[in-house]
Structure 1
Amino acid sequence: MTKLDDLFRDPLPDRDTYILKQAIPFNPDQWTTRLPNEQWWPKPLSALPRTGRWPTVDRQTVFRMAEHSETPEGRRALLIATLVWGTGTSARSIARRVRIFHENDLDWLDHRIAAATTEIDRGDPVAAFLVLNDRDARVKHLGPAFFSKLLYFASAGHPTGGLLPLIIDSNVALALDELSPHSWAPDERWDSKKYANYLDLAHSWAERFGVEADMVERKLFERGKQVRAGTT
């Protein structure tokens, strides 16, 4: 049995539990006080339940917001919700994330995000990745670990061109380095060719093990955390 087989050996929970209801706590005050304008705060995030001290946002909520992202305001809300889901409650991490809105021209930021989500709608997640990873037109402080989350959520959970855009971050890269035939460094800025390779691998593994592609993504993420912690 290979390490990959072992990763999917135990029965997985259903996707609704493991993926759509994956909820991340967040501190609204840390965001609203740092955004350029408090009115930017997405209304759907204000009505979320608390789990303990903080409210939580799950993947399903962000997917639903993607269904209303045809306008600049909708795309901005989707980006903020994506950042909230991907960041958690760390004030230092939140301060880094909101630099996106303070150190980029906002019209240009919307233009780049609109161009990327248009490629998602056309069914080409690799082209969408390239839009936001373009060396000559990058959005400051929005690297692959977070813009791949944006592409993932912009799909509203529906495969585009047969492929679901998937999140790539340092933990996923650590797992790919261990389980795939290619070399993956957790600290590189992965190019569109490597992203295409990742999507092909993840979807082939999803078919092999009878799961959805984002189930593979989360299993890789969890495996990468184990590799990082040395608990493999």
Structure 2
Amino acid sequence: MVYRTAVFDLDGTLVDSLQDLADTANEMLAACGYPQHPVAAYRYFVGDGMATLIRRIVPPSLPETESARCLADFTQTYAARWQRNSCPYPGIHAMLSGLQNAGLKLAVLSNKPHEFTREFIRFFFPAQQFDAVFGQRPGIEKKPSPAGALEIAALLNVEPAECLYVGDTAVDMETGRSAGMFTIGVLWGFRDRRELQEHHADLIVSDPMEIVEHALACR
């Protein structure tokens, strides 16, 4: 199979954003008088959108109206601090350039809100051309629904089987497999090899350039 497109998750795949997410969440929890969580715990809290993140970190008996207020506070604070510690993982820029030089189109699909996703890409990859960048949007089911991934394939005029889907979590592997794409799990992100194996990643890599090598080997 010749691959024509690579679709990437954002947080934990292209960008290490864990510290800023955890700091923002814990700041919000402290301000509300709720217990905070260790930074490492956020590896399993994030990945399913901000609303789900808030539900996971606040007390379980919290009324829905209070959870909504916490989400609003989190979003406002995160908008002012998301770039304090976040940065692309080592080797990501070279990997993206390598794929593009090999003729692949590049896309991003995240459960982060759409505007945050686009802002991240503009800020961290100003010189990199992406052919599609989508975050969570109203009316489009979030991952692990394949809806966004299939939308990208249609937009870029490629078959799902011609796409690599690259991510760091079970949600990403489920998304790519449901869309009929070749799934690549990365070990530098938020989750571990066992999770990627249990959710049937087609390939697991520990270095970004392995993705380029795989794409070139299939040409």
* TM-score normalised by the chain length of structure 2: 0.31
Give the number of the structure with larger relative contact order, counting CA–CA contacts within 8 Å between residues 6 or more apart.
2
Q: TM-score, normalised by structure 1?
A: 0.29
Greater strand content: 2
Greater fraction helix: 1
